Amino acid sequence: MASAISDDMFSLFIGTCESSPDAPFLIGEDGTVLTYDAARARAAQLAHAFCAQGVKPGDRVAVQVEKSQTALLTWLAALQAGAVYLPLNTGYTAGELRYFLGDAAPALVLCRPADEAAMAAICAELGVPALLTLDGEGTGGSLVDAAAGQPTTFAHAPADPAGLAAILYTSGTTGRSKGAMLSHANLASNALTLREYWRFTAQDRLLHALPIFHTHGLFVATNITIAAGAAMIFLPRFDADALVRLMPQASVLMGVPTFYTRLLGHPGFTRELAAGMRLFISGSAPLSAETHREFSALTGQAILERYGMTETNMNTSNPYVGERRPGSVGFALPGVSLRIADPETAAVLPQGDIGVIEVKGPNVFAGYWQMPDKTREEFRVDGFFITGDLGFIDPQGYVHIVGRAKDLIIAGGFNIYPAEVEAALDEIPGIAESAVIGVPHADLGEAVVAVVKATDAALDQAAVQAALADRLARFKQPRAVVFVDELPRNAMGKVQKALLRDAHRALFAS
Ligand code: MLC
Ligand code: AMP
């Protein structure tokens, strides 16, 4: 296990490679093992391939590829090359990509072979100098060719803790997406804190079924594994059958609430199967108290729910030992300060009152890429970050999230900002105005619904969905389109979304 306290993830990784080179790092579905030393060698070759394309320290490397072992190693390769990693959701459309790449101006883009022609056109338009490909298995593509024959060692200097390790884009409540800048110290400090809090050791085998383009799968799961010198059973995607099959080899599962509701619906997921597991962790979206209780009743184990954000990494967690309280996200992690404030006046509220959750600590990001004004708006003068989540602290100190001050929908752990979907809807000929809401969804937690005032009577749900198909990633597209004569508005002219949510809450509830 890496023992030295370190300020960057790559130093933690190298620490394990040196102390336990033969320890397993990635285990395939078929049981094949990639050791830490083999991963180090492959990451070094990938880092050389990046440099051969002209990538220099501080350059952005944007990656939109399917999940594979090589795809994960591009994270370590970027760190090693001193580059800033920019992972992109595989669902993003060309229009969405054009914005991210134009904003971040990467030195290198890595894409799927099938997207190469379209991506080359975007790169040419934006002046991105280099493009490589990687296939879904991680064994083919021009990146693999470029890495073959490269040296398997790469001189590594510890990173500046305050330097940028990654930029992750979050959609905005208004207008443009924002690139959250995460420093080496942000990531390493959170990984080390969580390693201790959740008692990870080199013996752990984490069942990894999350995507690796977001904080949860890329940072929480991967970085803790690295910090502990543990291993991941690395699956290409969530599949309840595969999880049930591989659980006997695992000790920890990390997932969004949909993982747990789907497991509970799987006949093979039993008390006996779960008994070999040390820990089940949930986050990224609210885990209902009902699912928490149902899970405990079936397995005898309490899911450990935690709360985080792209901008902050993880902020709170239920305890490892002690009550994991259903409907609560637990306590502020060591080193993280958390308070509840009045969203309007910023006054800190007494315990029990509901207000906006604000956090401060080594986990909190360095600001939004090239958006100093947005950054200023989301921090208080004393350095607390305004999360936009509404919550309270109960008498025993557990934090509860009760809603969001930001207009945000979370479906299956993916965030969708209604403002972005509304802007796309309003551009469709025949739509006068629209309001996008989240309604309860039995599988995904929430589903996107568009409420639309049309000027063209011939417009129907299928036509609206078709018009959005190339505009928005699939997960952002409305599952239902409801046509109305007027949108309900208050005296200020603001659309009353609460009324719309009430009116349509039964659409996908069962
Ligand atoms: C898939 N689809 C979704 C969706 N996932 N639609 C809305 N929301 C989602 N989350 C679409 C598919 O494109 C498909 O459309 C249809 O829904 C059915 O797909 P499925 O096969 O049933 O879904 P599946 O592929 O199994 O995916 C569901 C899922 C996945 C829950 C396993 O979404 C997932 O892995 N989510 C994890 C997200 C995550 O990692 N979030 C962390 C963010 S970081 P069609 O039309 O093609 O049939 C963060 C910070 C923190 O929030 O605190 O962690
Ligand atoms: P993202 O921008 O994708 O990082 O999503 C962060 C948001 O996910 C937070 O601001 C919360 O709204 C939500 N979130 C994360 N974890 C939880 C949780 N355990 N319970 C409720 N909401 C959560």
Q: How far apart are the first and last CA of the chain?
A: 46
CA of 85 to the centre of ligand 2 (A): 22
Taking the CA of 316 as reference, the closest ligand is: 2
Share of the chain above pLDDT 90, in %: 94
pLDDT in tens, 124-169: 999 999 999 999 999 999 999 999 999 999 998 889 999 999 999 9
Q: Find out whether the beta carbon of 258 lies less than 6 Å from any atom of ligand 1.
A: yes
CB burial readout 476-509, b (16+ within 10 A) else e: bbbbbbbeeeebeeeeeeebebeebbebbeeebe
Question: Which bound ligand lies closest to the C-alpha atom of 216?
Answer: 1
DSSP string, 326-361: TT--BEEPTT-EEEEE-TTT-PBPPTT--EEEEEES
Distance from Cα 357 to the centre of ligand 2, integer Å: 12
Q: Rounded to an integer, what is the distance from CA 90 to the centroid of its chain?
A: 12
Phi, psi of 402 (to 5 degrees): -115, -10
Indicate the pLDDT class of residue 101, thresholds 50, 70 and 90: very high
**pLDDT tens column, 451-478:** 999 999 999 999 999 999 999 999 999 9
Average pLDDT over residues 76-98: 96
Q: Is the pLDDT of residue 174 over 70?
A: no
CB distance 401 to ligand 2 below 6 Å = yes
Mean pLDDT in residue range 343-372: 96
- Structure tokens, 479: 């599952």
Distance between CA 510 and CA 508 in Å, rounded? 6
What is the number of the ligand closest to the CA of 208?
1
Closest residue by CA, ligand 2 atom 7: 309
pLDDT at 334 over 70: yes
Check whether 175 has a pLDDT greater than 90: no
**Using 50, 70 and 90 to split pLDDT, how confident is the model at 2?**
very low
305 pocket-lining for ligand 2 (C-beta < 6 Å): yes
Q: Is the CB of 284 under 6 A from ligand 1?
A: yes
Q: pTM here? A: 0.95
Give the ligand at the shortest distance from the Cα of 328: 2
Q: For residue 4, what pLDDT band results from cuts at 50, 70 and 90?
A: very low
Is the CB–ligand 2 distance for residue 387 below 6 Å?
Answer: yes
Average pLDDT over residues 402-411: 93
- At residue 491, the pLDDT reads 84
Q: What is the mean predicted confidence (pLDDT) over 184-208?
A: 98
Residue 480 pLDDT exceeds 80? yes
Query: pLDDT above 70 covers what percent of the chain?
Result: 98
284 lines ligand 2 (CB under 6 A): yes
Cβ contact 366:181 at 8 Å: yes
Model pLDDT, residue 492: 84
- Neighbouring-strand partners of residue 63: 87, 110
Any atom of ligand 1 within 6 Å of the Cβ of 210: yes
Distance (Å, whole) CA 337 – CA 362: 10
* 287 Cβ below 6 A of ligand 1: no
Q: What does the block give as tokens for 255?
A: 């997932």
Angle between helices 36-52 and 69-80 (to 10 degrees): 60
Q: Is 332 in the pocket of ligand 1 (CB under 6 A)?
A: no
| Cα 64 to ligand 2 centroid, rounded to whole Å | 23
HEC string of 413-477 equals CEEECHHHHHHHHHCCCCEEEEEEEEEEECCCEEEEEEEEEECCCCCCHHHHHHHHCCCCCHHHC
Mean pLDDT score, 349-361: 97
Q: Which of 169, 220, 414 has most ligand 1 atoms within 8 Å of CB, for mutation?
A: 414
Tokens in use for 379? 């921090």
> Alpha-carbon dihedral of residues 411, 334, 182, 375, nearest 10 degrees?
80
The pLDDT assigned to 158 comes to: 85
Residue nearest to atom 5 of ligand 2 (CA): 309
